Structure 1
Amino acid sequence: MKLTNTQEDAVRRRDLLAGAAGIGFTLAMGLPTPAVAAGRPVPVDPAAGLGAALFAPSAAQPVTAARLDKGLAAAKADFMAARYGALGEHLPALLAAAEATRDAASGQAREQAQAAVARGYVLATELAFKQHSDIAWATSDRALTAARASGDPVVIGEAARVLGITMRRAGRPGAAVELLRRTAAEVDTGDPAEQAVAATMLLTAAYTAANDGQRSDALDLMGHASSMIERATAAPGRALFTVDATVAQVDSYWVSTFNALGTPDEGVPYAARLAAVRWTSAERAARAATDVARMWHRLGDAKQTFVALRQVEAAAPEEVRRPALRALTASALYGPATVPGLREFAQRTGAI
């Protein structure tokens, strides 16, 4: 499909921003700045390089805590902006530097480096989720091991959450819910940040229980998490890493939980509230729109499904090229209803 001049300008701006993001990461880590190829395509699987990073890591030197924090912040920014190709390219260097720094440190400095290692592996696991990669087992295990060594309850909660998701995806929902419940209770000592991360674990546990057909447990967990987030919002603490503990996040989880329970109609009021949300990151906006697209698809409304899919693309162009979104697009395309523009969208995003 031929692009208009306006669309071509948008593509050039996106390529420029993606290149600038990559340069920012390498400067933060003190690495050589690579040449940025104009119009360089996004890798088919941005998580493909994680295996080598895990099992045949490149040599790295310890860096200062400040440089490691900057590198981690740059990688997080890639994730939040849904620049998954850039994140996959730069994560191996970040993980190697974080582990080298951890191995060379002792005492409190080592604990701080352990937290950075844990969050690096949380990012790696989040990226693996986007591609449905089995490497998430290794990255989530390393994340929780490093998190527990750091002694930081918030980091422990963040790492336990991604391990719980890994367990659910591997067909162990009951064990995942138990892990998330137990860890949430361990880390929540009343501090607002700890309460917030505990609430995000319970949201994940609720969705996991829903996927296991446990409606009562799912609704109880959602209600508990919602109450905790209301309290945490009233007394905000430090920011979490890859997730938010907000009312909007709760609404998004209500939609996805009812989808998983097979009663998507119950999610419609929450989807209506999400329409007015101004998300703080492209990744969260795309995730919420994905939940809404799945809801409308389950309700048999192909037109509204396409509206939501276009919202995903508008928020995060790389998101609609993920395997799960391509499958959803293809399913909508080959359904009984014909929706103008959907075939072109499917072709553009690689769904057909």
Structure 2
Amino acid sequence: MGPNANDLGAVFRSARHALRLKQADVARAVGYSASAISRIEGNRMRVNLDTCLLLARVLDIPPEQVSGFHAPADPVIDTVGTLPMSDEEDAMRRRNLLGALAAGASAVVGTGTAAASPTVVPDLDDVLFRLPPAGPAPLRVLADQTASAREAFTAARYNDLGNSLPGLLSATEATRDAAVGRARQQANAILARAYVLASELAAKQHSDAAWVAADRALAAARASGMPVPVGEAARVLAITMRRSGSCSSAVRFLTAEAAVLDPAEGRTGAVRTTLLLTAAYSAAAGGDRTTALALLDEADETVERRPQAAPSGLFTVDATKTQAAVYRIGVHTTLGTPDEGVEIARGLNIDLMPTPERRARAWTDTARMWHALGNGEEAFAALRRVEEEAAQEVRRPALRALTSSLLYSPARVQGLREFAVRTGAVPA
């Protein structure tokens, strides 16, 4: 008997078993962590249609059987289970997957833009539980190293960031544990920022380590007694809650944290605004249109009164009209009303955003909007802008899934296949 019509995880799991593949094999093919594949197969992690289609392609499942986020009444798994492949067919399909893996690791040649070099980072699932040994270091040195790590993130140099984080986290924890008084508070603030970065990087790879890092970030931030680190750590923790499907809990948590921050005070006003924007997106992900739009309006009112930025340093937070507009586009797309974001997108000057990572995220939201509207040309143009801003960003699992979905849509877009090969979305 085949899997339940709503058991999408069972469809993926059965197809993987039929191909005699491990979860780690599939994870490498799509750019996720093995733990994320486990959660998808267990229906403990929500995935969008683009990701479903990417997994279907890797596992040789007809795309119509995963569209709509459920398997049809007669899933392909019954056929796979009752009609085993010949050794020759099995070998061929294994070679196809290995080709996809190789393409994902080596497709780095670009045309007209910076090459999208592969993101080679340590497995954060393992790193966070086995930090390398390190001794205490001067706070100034740790602050400088953390600032460099943050710069790597904002410049979308994720491989540099991933390779620097384990030693930074270990040294900062050792310093915090050896410190007392004000020095301990400062060490906790630095540690909070480092763990925020770890959580953000893990979230980009859909790794369960995001939750662990965010929880540690919030604990360190609260120990620092500083409201800006607390707000930033609360934001990344809420994102992990949303990704696990706890959207309403994320909204309640974010709004409670925002309520204790003074919108008129320079150190906290920008953080409060970003919490409201993140809460709006979380509400949209949970299908709560009324709450999502109300939170967007509240954030807009705060920005209108005074565009804000937290003080320069490790916890610089931007809260501008442009950022609020980008969130509004993403909220409308998530709510299933992408047409309401078109005029916003047309009037948006993404070049005003301060960092490559922020600009790449804005272009990503724009690409998703156009894709939802069925405009492949505009969606691809936005993806090209993502690549121009941050070459490593287009190799993220979510972007590869979006690219793959565009490629296999009925409309043909010139240059899209070359882009898909270059970014590892499809084998060469």
TM-score (norm 2): 0.71
> What RMSD, in angstroms, separates the aligned Cα atoms of the two structures?
2.0
- Residues 148-167 of structure 1 aligned to structure 2 (within 5 Å): 148-167=222-241
Structure 1: how far apart are the matches of 2:108 and 2:247? 45
Structure 1: how far apart are the matches of 2:244 and 2:310? 33
2:251 is equivalent to residue 177 of structure 1: yes
SS at match of 2:319: coil
Deviates most, 194-203 or 266-275: 266-275
**Where has structure 1 moved over 4 Å in runs of 4 or more?**
1-4
Q: Highest relative contact order (Cα 8 Å, sep 6+), 1 or 2?
A: 2
Structure 1: how far apart are the matches of 2:378 and 2:213? 36
Equivalence for 2:194: 120
Shift of 1:62: 1.0
Find 1:238's aligned residue among 311, 316, 321: 311
Deviates most, 283-292 or 91-100: 91-100
- Residues 122-141 of structure 1 aligned to structure 2 (within 5 Å): 122-141=196-215
Aligned partner letter, 1:154: V
- Higher share in helix: 1
Find 1:42's aligned residue among 118, 121, 131: 118
Shift of 1:276: 5.3
Structure 2: how far apart are the matches of 1:131 and 1:102? 28
Equivalence for 2:332: 258
Equivalence for 2:368: 294
1:127-177 Cα distance to aligned partner (Å, 9 max, x none): 011101111111010000000000100110000000000000001011100
Q: If you compute each CA radius of gyration, which structure gives the higher value, 1 or 2?
A: 2
Shift of 1:229: 2.3
Aligned partner letter, 1:125: S
Mapped contact 2:118–2:395 kept (Cα < 8 A): no
SS at match of 2:351: coil
Shift of 1:262: 0.4
Mapped contact 1:297–1:332 kept (Cα < 8 A): yes
Find 1:201's aligned residue among 269, 275, 278: 275
Mapped contact 2:322–2:350 kept (Cα < 8 A): no
Quickly say closer, same or farther: Cα 1:275–1:333, change in 2 above 3 A. Answer: farther
Equivalence for 2:409: 335
Aligned partner letter, 1:170: S
Aligned partner letter, 1:191: E
Mapped contact 1:91–1:120 kept (Cα < 8 A): yes
SS at match of 1:277: helix
Find 2:134's aligned residue among 50, 55, 60: 60
Shift of 1:53: 2.8
Equivalence for 1:224: 298
Mapped contact 2:387–2:394 kept (Cα < 8 A): yes
Quickly say closer, same or farther: Cα 1:238–1:341, change in 2 above 3 A. Answer: same
Aligned partner letter, 2:221: A
Provide structure 1 residue ranges, at least 5 long, that are not aligned to the other structure.
15-40
SS at match of 2:303: helix
Provide structure 2 residue ranges, at least 5 long, that are not aligned to the other structure.
1-106
Shift of 1:227: 1.4
* Percent identity for Structure 1 against Structure 2: 53
Equivalence for 1:18: none
Mapped contact 2:280–2:292 kept (Cα < 8 A): yes
